[in-house]
Structure 1
Amino acid sequence: MSLFWRLGIGFLLLLGLCWGSASLSAWVQTRDTINELFDTQQLLFAKRLMALDLAAPDSAALPKNKALLHRHRGDQDDDALAFAVFTRDGKPVLNDGENGRRLPFDAEAQGFHDGRLTNDDDAWRFVWLTTPDGRHRIVVGQEWEYREDMATALVASSIVPWLVALPLMLLLLLGLVWRELRPLKQIAQQLAQRAPDDATPLAAGRLPQEVKPLIAALNGLFSRISTMMQRERRFTSDAAHELRSPLAALRVQSEVVQLAADDEAMRLHGLRQLDAGIQRATRLVDQLLTLSRAEADDARSAFQPVALQPLLQEAVTAQRSAADSAHITLQLAATARPVIQGHALLLSLLVRNLLENAIRYTPEGSEVVVTLESRSLRVEDNGAGLSEAEMQRLGERFWRPPGQEKSGSGLGLSIVRNVAQLHSMQLSFSQRQGGGLCVALRW
Structure 2
Amino acid sequence: MGGGGQQTEPGGSGGGGGGGSGGVFTWEEVQRHNHRTDQWLVIDRKVYNISDWARRHPGGIRVISHYAGEDATDAFRAFHPEPNFVRKFLKPLLIGELAPGEPNQDRKKNAALLQDFRALHESVEQAGLFKADFWFFWLHLGHILLLELGALGLLWTFGTGWVQTLLTAGLLATSQAQAGWLQHDFGHLSVFRTSRWNHLLHKFVIGHLKGASANWWNHRHFQHHAKPNIFSKDPDVNMLHTFVLGKTQPVEYGIKKLKYLPYNYQHQYFFLIGPPLLIPVYFHIQIVQTMISRRDWVDLLWSVTYYLRYFSCYIPLYGVLGSVALISFVRFLESHWFVWVTQMNHIPMEIEHERHQDWITMQLAATCNIEQSLFNDWFSGHLNFQIEHHLFPMMPRHNYWRVALQVRELCERHGVPYRVKGLWQGFTDIVSSLRTSGDLWLDAYLHK
Assess same fold via TM > 0.5.
Answer: no
Question: Which of 1 and 2 has higher RCO (CA within 8 Å, sep 6+)?
Answer: 2
Larger-gyration structure (1/2): 1
